[in-house]
Amino acid sequence: MNDKALITDTEFKLSMRRLAGAVSVITVGDGQDRTGFTATSVSSFSGEPPSVIVSVNRASSSWPVLQRYGCFCVNVLAADQRQVAQSFAGLDGRKGVERYSDAGWYRLKTGAPVLENALTVLDCELETAFHHHSHAILIGHIRAIEIRQDIGPLLYWQGDYHDLPAEVHRHRLAEPLRQ
């Protein structure tokens, strides 16, 4: 019996909408060759060496740029960066380098674009890319990290952006980071 045929695309998408996730913008490229995408498919992979996993649709305009440059930045968005998420998701019609116009950007070790005031920044060198169906699963070796502690995360759940109630992140932010 082929169980794969029993699950519809609609059912799968509805079930994944119930999975709350941090919103990240994955940035890649340089100058007029910059692009990026909004992702909730980012996960820690390994502490030795520090690595993350990111999924990207290989039909995306970001995929060939990612292959050319061999590095990317995971910009985990803060609650006040909803417009950045919408722009990099293509919801305002902007593409490529146009998506960078409403925020400040700089670079760290790999040269990938880094979003000013992101909640967390993971500057990554592309270590491996596995192809699976329509997507590539990227393993990024983290070369630099920056952390912002004064605000909570932007979350994606049920097809919309949300942030934690103020009392939740205020309590958590008061705790020192463990070394």
- Please give the full DSSP string across 16-51, using - where no structure is assigned: HHTS-EE-EEEEE--GGG-EEEEES-EEEEEETTEE
Q: Are 23 and 85 in contact (CB under 8 A)?
A: yes
Least confident piece of the model among 1-5, 46-50, 114-118, 149-153: 1-5
Inter-CA distances, 107 with 25, 27, 89, 127, 140, Å:
15, 11, 22, 19, 17
Please name each of the domains of the chain with its CATH number: 21-174 (2.30.110.10)
Q: Which two tokens stand for residue 137?
A: 């699963």
Nearest in space to 72 (alpha carbons), one of 128, 16, 130: 128
pLDDT for the residue numbered 178: 52
DSSP letters, 155-178, are EEETTEEEE--HHHHHHHHHSPPP
- Give the pairing of strands 71-76 and 42-47: unpaired
Assign 85 a pLDDT band (cuts: 50, 70, 90). very high
